[in-house]
Each structure stands twice: as structure tokens, then as C-alpha cells.
Amino acid sequence: MNELTRAIWRSWDWRPEVLAPLLLLGVLFTIGWLRLRRARCAGRASVHLAAVWRLCSYWLGLLILALALVSPIETLSNQLFTMHMVQHLLLAMFAPPLIWATDPMPILMWGLPPTWRRAIGRLLFRKTAPARPLLTKLTRPVVAWLAFFIFLWGWHDANLYNLALRVEWVHDLEHLTFFVPAMLLWWHLSGAGPRLHRRRSYLTRVGFTLASVPANMFLGIAIALSDTVIYTYYETVPFRPWNISVLDDQRLGGAIMWVPGSMMYVLAVIVLVGLYLNAEERKPPLDIGRLRREGKFDAPLPARPVRKTP
């Protein structure tokens, strides 16, 4: 391993303000998961919720968030556009579906002491909860989609992007405004709890997923096919690892946003269609005999008797 690669591998930014909340969420989830697993009175629902894959998926989601925010991916994002796009992809496209796939809310609630659990339910989620109307309005699917689209395109404006790289807190704000709408979007796509809105069918969610593709794809295409350097900050960087030129770096970053970013939605569509077909298969077969006895197959009678014209 040469000097440069060794230096890059050692470039971890152990930020406690990032790691501490992730650790708290991981611990709460694990406690809730263990409680559900140990609950003797529990029925099939708790066994289903406390499946091992959920614990693995949740921790993998948290690990991806940590990788995106403290690993060399984060430290190199100020030098390489490609690394910045990888970081955004991890934050908005990989971590949220892994976290939501576990349906984390009930498990996290089980990780809390009962009084806290009830207080949170009373404040946020019960039908009469004071914050529920506001929460429901703010997290509508259209709002989530628009927020994701606006923040994604807005932050890729050259001036805002350059500013985010120059000022650390703006960079943090950029990540937060990518991550929160992405979480909202994937929450609707996954159909996980808390259920503040009308439950959508699998096919509606497939449509919503497909409607989310253009936001990512067209921006990725525009960046990948650009012949000029859009993000001029990278021209001022004193040296570029691996000798990749600014324009090639930009094209590669755009392609990463375009292809793997869109692929995550395609995967989501495949999973949703699979779940839909599975649910259809589990429906009881039609009782043809009963339907025939009830006359459901008879041709409908005309509403009025047909008169012969003279």
C-alpha cells in the first residue's frame, strides 16, 4: 500500500455528534428487539417483528450512515465529486430502505421504558395526539416527494454546492436535508409504521416509487454528460488523489447518481411487486360453486323490457 492510499485509509473523522445518536438508536432498537424476542405472552406478531434479519438490516443501515459521515468517504468528499456522490447515495438511497425495511418504530418503542413509550404515543401517534395533525400534514407523500426533489436539485446548484463545500455547517445542513426527505420518501415506499396516513396498496407504492426515479436520474444524466466543470470548487483543491481530472471526476459522480441511484428504485419496485404477488397468492381461492349458485355468472337482465318497434 503506497503512502497516499495509507493516508486515505486513515482519514476517519470520529464525530461524536454523529456517532452518539446512531449508537443510541442502535441500542434502543436492540433492546426493543430483545424484549420482543423474550416476551412469553407474545403471539406471532412479536416473533415476526423480532426476526434476526430485522436486527441485521437495521444495524447495516446505521453502519452505512456512519460510513457515509465519518469514514474516508466523508473526508475525501471535499476533494472528489465522486466521493461526495457516493456519500449522498449512501445517505439517501442505501441507508433509508435498510432501516425502514425493519419496520423500526414498534421495535424502537419497545426499547423505551413503558412510561416513555406511552408518553410518546400520547404526544405523537394516538388519534387524539396534539402533534398528529401537524405531523400528518408535514409528512404527506406529496410533501416528501417534493422536499426530496427540491433539496436534491437545489443543493446541486453550482453556487449552493460550492458554498456547502466551503462552510462546514452548510455541508452538514445539506446532508440533513438530503437524509430527512429521503427517509420520508422511503417511509412511504416501504409502508412501515407509524401509520399516520391512509394505507396505500402495493401498486400505488410501485407508482410512487417510479415517480421518484426522475428526480435522481435526470440530474445524474445532466451532470454526467456536461462538457464543462459545473462545481468549480474542485478546481481550487490543491491536489487530487489518483490524478483524476476535475471533469472526469464530475462525469463519474454524475454516472454514480444516475445508475446506482436509479437502481435502488428499480430494486424497490421489484420487491413491492413481489410482495403484491405474494399477497395475491395468499388470498383464499374463489368459491366458484357458491358464486354460480348465487347467480353471479348469469348474464345481467336488461334494466327495462325491450319494446319491439312497429
Partner 1 sequence: MTPFPAQRRPTRFGRRELLLLLALIWSIASGARPAVAHGGGRPQLVNHPLGDYILSVWTLPDPLRVGTAHVTVALAQTTAGGPPQAALNREVWLTVQPADGGPAQRLAVTHANAANKLYYEVDFELPSVGEWQFVIETADQPAVTAAFSAPVAPARSPYTTPLLGGLGALALVLGWAALGRRRSSP
Binding site for partner 1 (CB under 8 A): 3-4, 7-8, 10-13, 15-17, 19-21, 23-24, 27, 31, 35, 42-43, 45-46, 49, 74-79, 105-106, 109-118, 121, 130-131, 133-134, 166-169, 171-172, 236, 238-241, 243
Q: Give min distance, CB of 8 to partner 1, in A.
A: 7
Of 166 and 197, CB closest to partner 1: 166
Q: Give min distance, CB of 198 to partner 1, in A.
A: 20
Q: Please, are residues 23 and 69 in contact by the beta-carbon 8 Å criterion?
A: no
Of 45 and 267, CB closest to partner 1: 45
Q: Give min distance, CB of 143 to partner 1, in A.
A: 18
Of 47 and 291, CB closest to partner 1: 47
Q: Give min distance, CB of 195 to partner 1, in A.
A: 12
Q: Which of 67, 92, 62, 233 is nearest to 175 (CA)?
A: 92
For 27-44, letters b (16+ CB in 10 Å) and e give ebbebbbebbeeeeeeee
CA–CA distance from 231 to each of 12, 67, 165 (Å)? 25, 24, 10
Of 217 and 237, CB closest to partner 1: 237
For cell 441511484, name the residue.
261
Question: Omega into 194 within 30° of 0, i.e. cis?
Answer: yes
Of 58 and 149, CB closest to partner 1: 58
Q: Give min distance, CB of 68 to partner 1, in A.
A: 14
Q: Rounded to whole angstroms, how far apart are CA atoms 259 and 54?
A: 27
Q: Give min distance, CB of 145 to partner 1, in A.
A: 26
Q: Please, are residues 172 and 239 in contact by the beta-carbon 8 Å criterion?
A: no
For cell 395468499, name the residue.
282
Q: Which of 234, 226, 271 is nearest to 98 (CA)?
A: 271
Of 7 and 225, CB closest to partner 1: 7
